Amino acid sequence: MSKFGKSQGVGRHEDIRFLTGKGRYVDDIAPADALHALFLRSDHAHGRITGLDLEAARDLPGVHLVLDAAGLESLGVTLGMKGTRLHIADGAVGAGPERPVLARDRVRFVGEAVVMIVADTVQAAQDAAEVIGLDIEGLPVSLALSPGGPQVHAEAPENRAFHWQIGDGAAVDAAFAAAAHRVTLEVVHNRIIVNAMEPRGCFAQWDGARLHFCVNGQGVWNQRNELARMLGLPRDAVRVTNPDVGGGFGMKAMTYPEYVCVAAAARDLGRPVRWIATRGESMLTDNAGRDLVAVADLAFDSDLRVTGYRVNLVSNLGAYNSQYGQAIQSELFSKVLTGVYDISAAHLRAVGVYTNTTPVDAYRGAGRPEAILTIERAMDEAARQLGVDPFDLRMRNFITSFPYRSATGELIDVGDFPRVLARAKAEADVAGFAARQADSAARGMLRGIGLATYIESILGDADESARLVLDRDGGATLYVGTQSNGQGHETVYARMVAEWTGLPEQMVRIVQGDSDAIPKGGGTGGSRSVTVQGTAMRATVRQMVAGFTAFLAEEWEADDVGFDGTSFGAAGSNTRLTMAEAADLARLRGRSDLLDVCQTTTLDGRSYPNGAHVAEVEVDPETGAMVMDRYIVVDDFGTLIAPDLAIGQVHGGVAQGYGQAVCEVAHYDYQGQLLTASFMDYAMPRASDLPMFGFTSEPVPSIMNPFGMKGCGEAGTVGALGAISNAVRDALAQRGVARVDMPFTPARIWHWLKEAENDAA
């Protein structure tokens, strides 16, 4: 019987080296003789470069290279970076202004790189930066989350990057015209800074013919392809590797300007070059997350069934198109626009605008947390306005028949949303909430309960490859196209291979993050890794087993050879060989082809993790301080390969959702200066802020992959934003507060309570 899905603890293979300080990160493995790169950055949010004198810097001791945009271009580098452009109706596409690797002529956000310096030491590079003569003539700054204002790019009139829509607007209008009830709610999604534990970093080496580029990213093939394009190299002349990575969360999936510069410098100088961001650089230049305002409208019939849903949103792209930026709050938002609800008429209108701020791109969930927060806030507000129980209103509107084609074209294969919600209601002891609320009130506190039901859409390339090599020591090496950023892939993948081959789990070695080692891969993002990679791994093992079965049938002169997951055997015979023993025989017979197998597979469709989150918060009305007292999650991730690791992913996702909901926000002043550019000013959640989470699974296996898995990497964040927001709204409603917006800091909560008190007086 398969071990998959059992609840026993899984000791992560990675943890020993991580916990004993033996992790190998970019900064640990950079060549000792590598030169150091440093970037002189704009201190203006918008301005014209009127003077740039590099000569004094070039003359300083220890300085090897000082380049601006023109100098970089003279090295054969294409300056324009890749940026997604949405395909709009009638062949139109979103705006495509150039994002140069180094600013030329203009700067468009504080922190934009203008000059790269390469020196023997960081100190020497800093000294060189001090003597560079950079003059910037300030220009009007655009920060408004709406079209119009000072022009950021000539290619984008009114700063409009795109105007994109999906759904049936006419059907929605008809639904609202006939509706018995209508509810409207504006939802503000605050901008956050990702703050991975390990800042971005890289090093590059040039051997005269090939480039080796090592980066702490989320995959190697996109990086390889972009570096090859921008440096004018054949793809096979670029090798990209990812070592251990200290967190990615979507932010590390892209090519950044520093990477291109470092690679070009290494090629030009013939010396290794390294760069590691400071925390301040990271906060200024890492792609930000969220930053949009959405207005949601719900139409209900007299039975409180949703008959129409529309969302109008405006999202901030920052100063440039990031690699995926235009698609996040449009196409990806639309994947789960209607959540878990049976809504036949829906319409999304999305507008993206440029501002003089750091570019915005994917952050854990990438469009799906934003869509779920929007509809879950709207459903909760509808329950309040219509005077019905929020659990009941959701139950009335759930999708109950599968497969289900959503209003935006998604084919949801399976699910049992009523069962999940019923389990969440029981686990959260909703029946006992009134007593807990009364106890809080007796202590002068406000207690609220919040519910969010969610669905996720697994994203990314449906293709993936896996290569399995049987080693002479009786173990195996698995080459994969995904990249762990801390999720525990090495553990899960080794466990899967051991389960299917009978090899000792501790002897299954995982090779990831090397574009030379495996020809193609989709990297990590969109919660795709286990479902897509697992399918490719299973196909690879099956191909290997089939090869050995035919080989042994010939060796044993047997008609019926089988493999039971532990050993090969012939029917009617006591002859048995383990996979390792069969590999030894194949070597003896010169059959090396059996020992090294690679397969590429394509999933038939996406899977759709879903679940329900219930949060309880307690607010002190005297100070505005909020405590998250209880938190319950019931998820449907389909088949769980390693339940403990899935729970860990949910815990991390909820913590990041809590961060955005309660304390994290990026603030700019009127001149475009980031006011929250250090941990002195940008609040992060602490362990003491969070209760122990309750986690339960109610699985309905997916039919879109052979294991029934659904993915879990982003689900915690997708559900957390709505549950926490609705809980705070519920708590403050007792004092007449009619609107709340993230983040729920003490000062903001206290202010809302005082406003409501004054309005009531």
DSSP type of residue 157: G
pLDDT for 490: 87
Domain 460-602 has CATH 3.40.50.1260: no
* 69, burial (CB in 10 Å: exposed 0-12, middle 13-18, buried 19+): buried
* Three-state SS letters, 518-531: CCCCCCCCCCCHHH
pLDDT for 53: 98
Phi-psi region of 331 (alpha: psi -120 to 50; beta: other; left: phi over 0): alpha
Q: Tell me if the bond preceding 403 is cis, omega within 30° of 0.
A: yes
Exposure string (b/e) for 591-627, b if CB count within 10 Å is 16 or more?
A: beebbebbbbbebebbbbbbbbbbbbbbbbbeebebe
Domain 413-458+607-760 is in which class?
A: alpha beta
SS3 category, 726: helix
Written as six digits, the tokens of 501 are 């081959």
CA 62 to chain centre: 40
Q: How far apart, in Å, are the Cα atoms of 327 and each of 193, 335, 367, 603?
A: 19, 11, 9, 22
Q: Give me the helices (H) in 387-444, please.
A: 390-397, 417-427, 433-442
> Do 460-602 and 413-458+607-760 have the same topology in CATH?
yes
State how far the Cα of 15 lies from the Cα of 5, in Å rounded to an integer: 21
Exposure string (b/e) for 677-694, b if CB count within 10 Å is 16 or more?
A: beeeebbebeeebbeebe
Q: How far apart, in Å, are the Cα atoms of 587 and each of 436, 548, 610?
A: 69, 12, 47
Return the domain boundaries, the chain.
Answer: 413-458+607-760, 460-602
Q: Give me the helices (H) in 92-150, please.
A: 122-131
State how far the Cα of 210 lies from the Cα of 358, in Å rounded to an integer: 33
In one-letter notation, the amino acid at residue 290 is R
State how far the Cα of 72 lies from the Cα of 39, in Å rounded to an integer: 13
Helix axes of 417-427 and 390-397: crossing angle, nearest 10 degrees: 160
SS3 category, 494: helix
What does R_g of the chain's alpha carbons equal in angstroms? 27
pLDDT for 6: 44
- Going from the first residue of the chain to its last (761 residues), give the mean pLDDT of each consecutive group of 10, the final group possibly shorter: 43 85 94 98 98 98 98 97 92 96 97 98 98 98 96 97 97 98 98 97 98 95 96 98 93 96 98 98 98 98 98 98 96 98 98 98 95 98 98 98 97 97 98 98 98 92 91 96 84 92 95 88 78 91 97 94 95 92 97 95 90 98 98 95 87 96 98 97 96 94 91 92 98 97 98 96 85
Q: How far apart are the first and last CA of the chain?
A: 68
State how far the Cα of 338 lies from the Cα of 413, in Å rounded to an integer: 15
By C-alpha distance, which of 537, 532, 529, 713 is closest to 637?
Answer: 713
SS3 category, 66: strand
Q: Are strands 106-107 and 47-53 parallel, antiparallel or unpaired?
A: antiparallel
In one-letter notation, the amino acid at residue 186 is E
pLDDT for 3: 46
